[in-house]
C-alpha cells in the first residue's frame, strides 16, 4: 500500500491529517522536529527531521508527500525564507529525485497574488508563491491547495473552491482542510490542480474538484 509522508506533522493541520490517515489504516510517516511534543497512534511511523537540516531519510519508501509545514506566525522573515520557501524547494527536489506519484502543497488563499493579501504576512505569501511556482514547474505530479483563513471549527464536509465575495466568509476549518487533503491523495482528478478552499453553505458534501 502507498505510504504518505506528512511534512509538518506537528502543526495543527498536520496532526489532524496524520490521525485521519491512521484511522483509515493508511500507511503514514509523520515528519517531526520534536517527537516529544506530539503523540500519534502506534501505527504511525515517526521520523525525526528538520527542514533546515538534512531530511532526505524521511522520504524513504514514501510515494506521496504532503507539505503542510510552516515557520509559524511568531518567527521572522528569515525563518519564512528558510522553511516556507527553501525547505519546500528542497522537499520538491527530493520528491523529483525519488519519482513520487503525488506532492500535495498546502499553500494560502492569496499566494497566487501576494500583493492582494494582508501586508503583515506578505513575506509568507511571497514565499508560498515561489514555492508553489517551483512545484508546478518541477515535473512532480502536484496538487496545490490554497485554503482561506483557517479556523479551529469542527469539520463540516462542505467545501467550495469558489472564493466568497465577502472577505469575512473566506474561511475554512483546519479539519475540513485535512479532509480535502485525504480526498486528494491518490485521486487522479486532483493532479495538476491549483484550487482555493472555503467553507460552503451547500449541503452536498465533499465536492471540491
Active site residues: 124
Rounded to 5°, the CA angle 204-207-209 comes to 155
| Closest among 80, 167, 163, 150 to 122, alpha carbons compared | 80
Distance CA 15, CA 9 (A): 5
Return the HEC string of the chain.
CCCEEEECCCCHHHHHHHHHHHHCCCCEEEEECCHHHCCCCCCCEEEECCCCCCCHHHHCCCCEEEECCCCCCCCCHHHHHHHHHHHHHHHHHHHHHHCCCEEEEECCCCCCCHHHCCHHHHHHHHHHHHHHHHHHCCCCCEEEEEECEEECCCCCCCEECCCCCCHHHCEEEHHHHHHHHHHHCCCHHHCCEEEEEEECCCCCCCCCC
Longest dimension (CA), the chain: 45
Amino acid at each position: 500500500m502507498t505510504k504518505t509522508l506528512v511534512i509538518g506533522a506537528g502543526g495543527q493541520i498536520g496532526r489532524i491529517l496524520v490521525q485521519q490517515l491512521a484511522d483509515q489504516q493508511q500507511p503514514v510517516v509523520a515528519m517531526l522536529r520534536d517527537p516529544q511534543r506530539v503523540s500519534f497512534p502506534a501505527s504511525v511511523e515517526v521520523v525525526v527531521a528538520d527542514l533546515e537540516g538534512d531530511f532526505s531519510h524521511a522520504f524513504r519508501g514514501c510515494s506521496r508527500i504532503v507539505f503542510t509545514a510552516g515557520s509559524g506566525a511568531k518567527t521572522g522573515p528569515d525563518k519564512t525564507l528558510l522553511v516556507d520557501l527553501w525547505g519546500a524547494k528542497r522537499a520538491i527536489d527530493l520528491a523529483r529525485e525519488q519519482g513520487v506519484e503525488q506532492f500535495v502543497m498546502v499553500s494560502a488563499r492569496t499566494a497566487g497574488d501576494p500583493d492582494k493579501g494582508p501586508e503583515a504576512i506578505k513575506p509568507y505569501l511571497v514565499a508560498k508563491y515561489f514555492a508553489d511556482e517551483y512545484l508546478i514547474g518541477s515535473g512532480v505530479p502536484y496538487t496545490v491547495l490554497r485554503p482561506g483563513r483557517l479556523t479551529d471549527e469542527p469539520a463540516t464536509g462542505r467545501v467550495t473552491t469558489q472564493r466568497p465575495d465577502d472577505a469575512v466568509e473566506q474561511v475554512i476549518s483546519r479539519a475540513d482542510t485535512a479532509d480535502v487533503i485525504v480526498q486528494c491523495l491518490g485521486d487522479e482528478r486532483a493532479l495538476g490542480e491549483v484550487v482555493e478552499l472555503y467553507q460552503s453553505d451547500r449541503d452536498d458534501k465533499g465536492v471540491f474538484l
